[in-house]
Amino acid sequence: VLLKQKGANKEATPPRKGLAFLFQPKEKTPKMFRALLGGTGDIGRLLKLKREQAAQVTRQNQLREVMERAPTLIPLQM
């Protein structure tokens, strides 16, 4: 699956206009790198879950800090 596909780019590319001819066209990102960035493969899913888990922990810590400071921020009215 990580092998090059034969004839992947058989379509003719349109001529580049303006300043675009000064820069090389962007190459396609390798499959392994796309998987690490959060693709649909198993590796991508695992990394995405780990990021979500870390974000959830930080949200819980922030909520805990707010709840600890809440009594000092809201004065009691009697």
The 10s digit of each residue's pLDDT in 1-57 is: 556 666 656 667 777 778 877 888 788 878 777 767 765 667 777 888 899 999 999
Domain count along the chain: 1
Expressed as residue numbers, the domain containing 59 is: 30-71
Residue 6 within a domain: no
pTM for the structure as a whole: 0.38
Total residues belonging to the chain: 78
| C-alpha distances out from residue 6 to 23, 27, 35, Å | 26, 16, 21
pLDDT of residue 39: 58
Q: How confident is the model at residue 59 (pLDDT cuts 50, 70, 90)?
A: very high
* Residue 58 pLDDT: 94
Residue 22 forms part of a structural domain: no
